[in-house]
Chain A
Amino acid sequence: MSRDWSDLAYLVAAVCFILALKGLSGPKTARAGNLIGAAGAVLAVGVVFAAEDLDHLVPILATIVVGAVVGTVVSRRVAMTAMPQLVAAFNGVGGAAAALVALLEMSDAGSKSTLVAALFTVVLGSVSFAGSAVTFAKLQELMTGRPITFPGGPALFAGLVVADVLACWWAYEEQLTHSAELPAALVVLVSLVIGVLFVLPVGGADVPIVISLLNAFTGLTVAASGYVLGNTLLIVAGTLVGASGTILTRMMAAAMGRSVSSILFGAFQGGSTAGSQEASDRPVRSAQAEDVAVLLGYARKVVIVPGYGLAVAQAQHTIHELVEMLEARGVDVSYGIHPVAGRMPGHMNVLLAEASVPYEKLKEMDEANSAFAQTDVALVVGANDVVNPAAKTDPGSPIYGMPILSVDDARAVVFLKRSMRPGFAGIENELLYDPRTTLLFGDAKDSLTKVLQALKGL
């Protein structure tokens, strides 16, 4: 295959990626968009085998087959609740792949500018890999989701950045004369530590935004490796992801009422350290499933606010049943969906779609908020931070300014909660102690099943 033909095929693939992103931004075209992107990727990988003169074809193809099988199986099997972790993991391996490519290409770097680009790729790819690994650990609850800070953290971070720049300079000088294995290894090591320190201070609820940011990083890493290899497709694809990922990060942060910098550096300024994991012993009004059934069964209008707890308990299907039974009794029921309900913006919509909840029943935040004043019961299932009035009333709260679902406007609020433990962000919710609030403790699925049984007896 001649150079012209392969360049043309790469161009087609690049256009596919642009169309994919365009398609993914609209609900009707999203699935087709994703498939166009996949087609572009298949074309690009096919072309590289046809156009380049490659050795080691058998091990390369075998590795691709193994990777494709493992990737497909994992993606098919993983629970929808674990989606944020999976995206973090895929992002991390992408960053690592780009860093490895750049490391291998460093020794062949034809010019000073490609050498600089290669070092940039190694740094950013390693940061993205280590950062994604930490986000994965936080989301998978292998480690605490709370912000981790320590005295001198910012100074250490700054020192490491300087050290990384010096290591890059050393690697650059060495590479110009002979090979630079030792300094290159140092660059990788320091960059990995930077990636870890970058994500440690970020609180649990903000972690998804960091995944999006690291996604943009990996995009830029791929673009830089495209420059090193002189491959336009990698430049276009990587830059697209870098740019769109940056915009998406800002949109997600806006949905949470935060700025990206306050998410990344908030903990250093003491912004998100107010959280506590301890349960308070102040009195609350807890009730039995029968009481909740009466409250719901004789209401005219009920709004359900689902949160991550609903998904963890796999209670999407049970709540769907409960809603159908309430509707049979003539109760007007809808779902109020917070943009960041779940663990990632838009995550709850995916989870409820999995349970076949009709799309029309899902009310976005503004619509739900204007309805709460006419709502008899707001049923909060496994959510906490997204209904916490401290976001509106307490300027000292770490979630202050985040738009919330104003369930406190409803005539009564019912919380289905496992315990009095604060939510993912680790912040106390005053609404739990409000006299209009009723609590039903237990696993969301068990509680809902009991309420369902009690409702049948009404």
Chain B
Amino acid sequence: MALLTIFVLAVFVGFEVISKVSTVLHTPLMSGANAIHGVILVGAVIVTGQTEDTAGLLLGLAAVLLATLNLVGGFVVTDRMLEMFGRGRRRPAEGKHARGAGEPKP
């Protein structure tokens, strides 16, 4: 019952916390929320650490790998997008000069 209470309260927090978002931020917000559910890594680590047979270990490690990709990749790519927004806003103060095409330096 306590877990159900937590669930219901979290639903309301989830609804409230992003009541109004500019369309400009839809992409990073989706990507950021996507990264957060990568925390399933915690669950993957727990089940893998408690498994006793080889098949379970392999499946568990697969879950750990996929969850890590989701978690780490999600946060890194969101940061990369938001970093560009920051640069775009500061632009006028820095003066104008055309940047070369290609990827930004990590």
Stretch of A274-282, A316-324, A377-385, A426-434 that contacts chain B: A316-324
Task: Contact check, A225 vs B43: say whether CB atoms are below 8 A apart.
Answer: yes
With beta carbons under 8 angstroms apart, the residue of A34, A97, A226, A317 that contacts B66 is A97
Q: Please, which residues of chain A bring their CB within 8 A of the CB of B19?
A: 247
Interface residues in A5-28 by Cβ distance below 8 A to B read 13, 17-18, 20-22, 24-27
Chain A CB within 10 Å, residue with most, of B29, B36, B81 = B36
Contact status A18-B17, CB under 8 Å = yes
Q: A residues within 8 A CB of B87?
A: 353, 356
Q: Interface of chain B, helix or strand or loop or mixed?
A: helix
In the complex, which residue of chain B has the Cβ closest to the Cβ of A107? B56
Taking a contact as CB atoms under 8 Å apart, the answer to whether A248 and B72 are in contact is: no
Q: How far is the CB of A23 from chain B (nearest CB, A)?
A: 9
Chain A CB count within 10 A is highest, among B33, B38, B44, B50, for B33
B67 touches A97 (CB 8 A): yes
Quick one: which of A210-226 are within 8 Å of B by CB? Answer: 211-212, 215, 218-219, 221-223, 225-226
Please provide the chain A residues from 240 to 258 with a CB less than 8 Å away from any CB of chain B in the complex. Answer: 240-248, 251-252, 255
- B106 and chain A: residue at smallest CB distance: A76
A203 at the interface (CB under 8 A from B): no
* Interface members, chain B 9-64 (any A CB < 8 Å): 10-15, 17-51, 56-57, 59-64
Q: Which of A38-46, A164-172, A405-413 contacts B (4 or more CB under 8 A)?
A: A38-46
User: Is A86 in contact with B77, judged by CB distance below 8 angstroms?
Assistant: yes
Report yes or no: A79 in contact with B51, Cβ–Cβ below 8 A: no
Q: Is there contact, CB below 8 Å, between B84 and A354?
A: yes
Binds B, one of A54-62, A142-150, A154-162, A293-301: A54-62
State which of A20, A105, A352 has its C-beta within 8 Å of the C-beta of B32: A20
**A48 x B42 contact (CB < 8 A):** yes
Distance A103 CA – B36 CA, assembled complex (angstroms): 21
* Candidates A45, A74, A239; contact of B7 at CB < 8 Å: A239
Chain A neighbourhood of B44, CB < 8 A: 97, 100-101
Beta-carbon nearest neighbor of B14 in chain A: A243
A90: Cβ under 8 A from any B Cβ: yes
| CB-based contact B15/A247 at 8 Å | yes
CA distance A353 to B90 in the complex (A): 11
Min C-beta distance of A89 to chain B, whole Å: 8
Interface membership of chain B positions 62-93, coded 1 if the CB is closer than 8 angstroms to chain A and 0 otherwise: 11111111111111111111111111110110
Report chain B residues within 8 Å CB of A358.
88, 91-92
Residues A83 and B32 in contact, CB atoms below 8 Å apart: no
Task: Return the contact of A103 from the options B31, B38, B59 (Cβ within 8 A).
Answer: B59
Cβ A235 vs Cβ B24 within 8 A = no
- In the assembled complex, the Cα of A314 lies from the Cα of B62 at a distance in Å of 36
User: Once bound together, how far apart are the Cα atoms of A74 and B70, in whole Å?
Assistant: 11
A349 to B103: give the CA distance in the assembly, Å.
16
In the complex, chain A residues 70-94 whose Cβ is within 8 Å of any chain B Cβ: 70-72, 74-80, 83-84, 86-87, 90-91, 93-94
Contact B77 A98 (CB under 8 A): no
Q: With contacts A30-B82, A67-B72, A360-B92 known, what are 16 further pairs, Cβ within 8 A?
A: A34-B32, A41-B41, A55-B51, A60-B45, A63-B65, A87-B30, A90-B74, A93-B69, A101-B43, A104-B59, A223-B10, A239-B11, A241-B14, A339-B26, A346-B25, A350-B84
Could you list some 22 contacts between A and B, CB below 8 A? Answer: A21-B36, A34-B79, A44-B42, A49-B45, A66-B68, A72-B73, A91-B37, A97-B70, A101-B63, A104-B60, A227-B3, A240-B13, A243-B11, A243-B14, A246-B15, A324-B96, A346-B27, A350-B81, A350-B85, A356-B99, A357-B91, A359-B91
Q: Which residues of A contact B (CB under 8 A)?
A: 13, 17-18, 20-22, 24-27, 30-31, 33-35, 37-38, 40-41, 44-45, 48-49, 52-57, 59-60, 63-64, 66-68, 70-72, 74-80, 83-84, 86-87, 90-91, 93-94, 96-98, 100-101, 103-105, 211-212, 215, 218-219, 221-223, 225-227, 229-248, 251-252, 255, 314, 316-317, 320-321, 324, 339-340, 344-347, 349-350, 352-360, 364
Kindly list the 6 A-B residue pairs having the minimum CB-CB distance in the complex, ordered from nearest.
A243-B14, A67-B68, A54-B49, A71-B73, A239-B10, A353-B88
